[in-house]
Structure 1
Amino acid sequence: MAPAFGDKSSGAAVGGDGVHVMVIPYPARGHNVASIQLSRELVRHGARVTLVNIFDNISPDRLLVCRRESIAVVDVGVCPDAPGPGNLPYLREVESVQGETEQVVAEIGLPAVTCIVSDVFLGWTQSVADKFAIPRFVLCASPARILASLLYMPTLAAQGVVPVQSGEVSELVHIPGLPPTRRGDLSPAVQASSIFCQHFYAQYLHRCCQPALEAAGWFINSFEELEPSCIDALRSFPYERVNSKKPSPIPKFFPVGPLVDDAYLQLLNSESVQGSSFVEPEAPYLRWLNKQPTDSVLYVNFGSVVSLSIRQIHELAFGLEASKQRFLLVARISTVEDTHEDHPVLPEDFVARTQETGFVQFKWVNQLDVLSHPAVGGFLTHCGWNSTLESICRGVPLLAWPFQADQMLNCRFLVDEAKTAVEVRKGANGFVSSEEVARAVRQLMAEPEGEDAKENVRKLRDKVKAAVSDDGSVQRSIKTFLAELKTRVRASN
């Protein structure tokens, strides 16, 4: 029987060898997706999993998935009325649930919690693990290069490299596992000019990055074949624990991505025709896509967090129009910074002028349906890692326009290393002109660079298929992790 939700005494079926993993996501959509997908994998391999739902942030549909797959869920904390600024709005507030989390660990039934797997931005969970003498494993919902930068951040702070001053953004920094990197491409949390840094720099460094170095191991939302050199560097670099007397352990890194919705992975092995609808076949945007030639449409969607000014949205619209390429534009009012009834989201008559080549959707779309449609030949994205992995799984090349968080480093990887993307070049103050939008769109959709990106991303899709197969690298990572936990359980009995 599936567990009841919100009941701290409820639990899932007991896993093999007494392995009981407590998974604690950071309360944000992308982080929830990664944590739940990892939890599902652990359950499938016989572990018992309890998922901690901070601020009741996990959506009802994902809670239903947990119930269906016997993942116990416990709720902790009350969501604050006014979350802090930045792309991690609850960074300070989440520490308020530490006491409740400790109580859950203490009161949970047998088998007792074997280990904690928590998001990299929940550094306080290391103290919870230490209190109960159980290991903590960090989950990074981003690629290996982001974890590499997080683990190296205390060293950069000791060297005086961060926080990055405005005159230093073009200078290069050397992080193990990464090519020479512009300091300005590091997280906004270490950019002195950003509001996020001004509020949370010390919190980010000492309550997130530093505790990550104390962990017994690290899960990465990537796979061996995607970032081999970076993952090798992670495993070999002697990270130092600055404030701990614990001996440095042998690094244990478990690449277990892509941690995306199961439907994307199931389609890798499906014989169904690309483009068949999986959710809402009669949606107007899908009916429009059905009338477009193969690989002809650019899908434009900046996700649920990024917001653009009216001026920037208008430049984007003018650029799409000038490119003469087909497009599906998602323009939801909730992602507009300065919306006002006197300032329409899109330029006047834009929809009417572009009705032969474009479709504007003012509500959510089902991204699986769109990326799976044969008419879609490119994806203009903010380079969020979830969207990036979903696009790779469907073999769709990217037009990279990053804004915040890990997106700049993701962009550099996609453009410079994986070569699955064309970059949208920003001008002064990060603004992108309509001329640049048109240039980048044409380059991806109608020029040789776009053909190269398409070929490379489809090669990566084949690598994903191999990695998640029964004998692939992802399954080996999960099995290795659980084998080590079982050994620990047996040794403690």
Structure 2
Amino acid sequence: MAETKKLHIALFPWLAFGHIIPFLELGKRIARKGHQISFISTPRNIERLPKISPDVLTSITLVKLPLPHVENLPENAESTMDVPHHLVPYLKTAHDGLQESLSDFLQTSAPDWIIHDFAPHWLPPIATKLGIRRVFFSVFNASILCFAGPSKSSTTDAVDPTSTRTEPEHFIVPPKWVPFPTKIAPRLFEAKKLIGNHMEENASGVSDISRYMQAVVGAEALAVKTCSEVEGEWLKLLGQLHDAPVFPVGSLPSPAQERGVDKDGTWGTIVEWLDKREKGSVVYVAFGTEVQPSQEDLNELALGLEQSGFPFFWALRKRSSSVIGGDMAELPEGFEERTRGRGIVWPSWAPQFRILAHESVGGFLNHCGWSSVAEAFQLGRPLIMLPISMDSGLIARLIEERQAGVEVPRNEQDGSFTRDSVTQTLRLVMKDEEGQIYRDKAKEMSAIFGDEDLQDRYAANCVDFLENHRHVVRGL
């Protein structure tokens, strides 16, 4: 039997660590199957990557493309974690400035495939001209992509989403192209943000929805960070909406040996505190480094947590001091003093997976970032959900459909919530008898997300696709 030719695969993620890390994990899994990886980003982002394990170190080349300077972008800002939300469009402008240097790299290195993100709408024609095959990789789950609608190349009867949905009220029901029952749709306050933040042209000159559609239309296949066991019907629909092969790559958990790393020596202090708590009693609270609750939301969240009575570990990491206009909201006065002994506010990096894995943790209060959801479900932890963005709102509704978590009730018009609603939702998910269904369903999810053999098979299927489709799958 002939040996499979070693492939050279380039990966080009958007400049956000919520994208960079899954792309890197996918690259490592492909490298473990015997292929060569070129991982492309900017110098500062490359320097901030987690250490690559020795078993794939020689198979991954880190390619640094200097980010062009653009007006209004702070010096040394190379990822979304370096800038407040209103400056992200200028980061997209700078990212568009990578077109020439990326083209030069692709021409000289001639990879077999490039796996790319939503942002480089200009990439597919360049890769096609060079004879490089293309996969669009989404770090978002399948139901979110389906909500965005069909591409113009689609052979379905669904209508072009950008021409028919123009008002917030158009978005608060499932789209007409979804053929099965679902309650997944934005709330009104999320739909208002969606139109302003993603549907309309921003300072980069290109709307997010336009970037996404051009990236998808220009790809030969779509890879999605999800599992068929959770989103089988959505994955099938996604392929129909874009008339393209679609394959899930699993949740891309980092290897067990990497999850156990105590990178800054703080685990001893944390585990000593956790060891003193009763099994299943602690609420772990984390919103990532890039999600910023408003001052009002932070107040209600903290006071709801306080009056719930539950022990808590809150990873409240401050943004980089280099972030202009990115001041961190402050906790309510006296909060830490009043909850001392019962709760911890941890201001630096926290080993999230190890904390969630501790038996004292009974629930995870978070913003519904897809990677955090996957980590929670690896360990069977139910979710208390407080989504901040439109995409995380859609994830929250997916989790509620699967009954593995509960969303904190909010005002439909403005998205506000109260401390009482936080307290009540915490008690329901963590303790109340009627909340047992959520705790049970979250444990069932661990049979999918926590099954490392299953996740490995997803990675293997991805590699099989790349190996077996050396010819063009779908042209521009």
Q: Corresponding residue for 2:317?
A: 332
Structure 1 residue 116: Cα displacement: 0.9
Q: How many residues align?
A: 445
- Please say which of residues 175-184 and 323-332 is displaced more in the overlay: 175-184
- Please say which of residues 308-317 and 150-159 is displaced more in the overlay: 150-159
Q: Corresponding residue for 2:230?
A: 226
Alpha-carbon separation, structure 2, partners of 1:423 and 1:289: 25
Letter in 2 for 1:105: L
- Give SS of 2:86's match: coil
Percent sequence identity over aligned pairs: 22
* 2:247 aligns with one of 241, 254, 257: 254
- Please say which of residues 255-264 and 25-34 is displaced more in the overlay: 255-264
Q: Corresponding residue for 2:163?
A: 160
Q: Corresponding residue for 1:102?
A: 103
Alpha-carbon separation, structure 2, partners of 1:233 and 1:75: 37
* 1:116 aligns with one of 105, 114, 117: 114
Distance 1:185 1:388, change over 3 A: farther
Contact persistence 2:113–2:133 (CA under 8 A):
yes
Distance 1:73 1:300, change over 3 A: same
Letter in 2 for 1:107: T
Q: TM-score, normalised by structure 2?
A: 0.83
**CA deviation map 1:251-270 (0-9, x unaligned):** 21121121232238x88xxx
Distance 1:255 1:302, change over 3 A: same
* 2:447 aligns with one of 450, 462, 471: 462
Structure 1 residue 64: Cα displacement: 4.1
Contact persistence 1:173–1:183 (CA under 8 A):
no
Runs of at least 5 residues in structure 1 that lack an aligned partner in the other structure? 1-14, 240-247, 268-275
Contact persistence 1:116–1:134 (CA under 8 A):
yes
Contact persistence 2:318–2:347 (CA under 8 A):
yes
- Give SS of 1:483's match: helix
State yes or no: 1:484 paired with 2:473.
no
Letter in 1 for 2:314: L
Contact persistence 2:142–2:231 (CA under 8 A):
yes
- Please say which of residues 22-31 and 205-214 is displaced more in the overlay: 205-214
Q: Corresponding residue for 2:77?
A: none
Alpha-carbon separation, structure 2, partners of 1:189 and 1:262: 39
Letter in 2 for 1:446: K
Q: Corresponding residue for 1:319?
A: 304
Structure 2 counterparts to residues 57-456 of structure 1, below 5 A: 57-62=45-50, 64-65=52-53, 68-78=57-67, 80=69, 81-82=73-74, 85=86, 90-108=91-109, 112-150=110-148, 152=150, 157=160, 160-163=163-166, 165-176=167-178, 179=182, 181-182=184-185, 184=187, 191-194=194-197, 197=200, 199=202, 202-235=206-239, 237=240, 239=242, 251-263=244-256, 280=265, 282-334=267-319, 345-416=330-401, 418-427=402-411, 428-456=413-441
Distance 1:61 1:333, change over 3 A: closer
Letter in 2 for 1:116: I
Contact persistence 1:168–1:183 (CA under 8 A):
no
Structure 1 residue 423: Cα displacement: 0.7
Alpha-carbon separation, structure 2, partners of 1:346 and 1:238: 45
Distance 1:148 1:401, change over 3 A: same
Alpha-carbon separation, structure 1, partners of 2:317 and 2:346: 8
Contact persistence 2:428–2:434 (CA under 8 A):
yes
Letter in 1 for 2:467: A
Letter in 2 for 1:72: T
Letter in 1 for 2:60: I
- Please say which of residues 454-463 and 468-477 is displaced more in the overlay: 468-477
Q: TM-score, normalised by structure 1?
A: 0.80
Alpha-carbon separation, structure 2, partners of 1:460 and 1:89: 39
| Structure 1 vs Structure 2 CA RMSD | 3.3
Structure 1 residue 480: Cα displacement: 2.5
Alpha-carbon separation, structure 2, partners of 1:153 and 1:43: 31
- Give SS of 1:360's match: strand
Alpha-carbon separation, structure 1, partners of 2:163 and 2:28: 41
Alpha-carbon separation, structure 1, partners of 2:51 and 2:455: 29
- Give SS of 1:49's match: strand
Letter in 1 for 2:407: E
Structure 1 residue 192: Cα displacement: 3.0
Distance 1:190 1:488, change over 3 A: farther
Contact persistence 2:376–2:382 (CA under 8 A):
yes
Alpha-carbon separation, structure 1, partners of 2:297 and 2:455: 47
- Asked which structure has the greater RCO (Cα within 8 Å, sep 6+), the reply is 2
Contact persistence 1:24–1:53 (CA under 8 A):
yes
Contact persistence 2:284–2:312 (CA under 8 A):
yes
Contact persistence 2:286–2:365 (CA under 8 A):
yes
- Give SS of 1:334's match: coil
Distance 1:360 1:317, change over 3 A: same
Runs of at least 5 residues in structure 2 that lack an aligned partner in the other structure? 75-82, 153-157
**CA deviation map 1:72-124 (0-9, x unaligned):** 1111132643467376763333111111111011112xxx3111111133222
Contact persistence 2:168–2:191 (CA under 8 A):
no
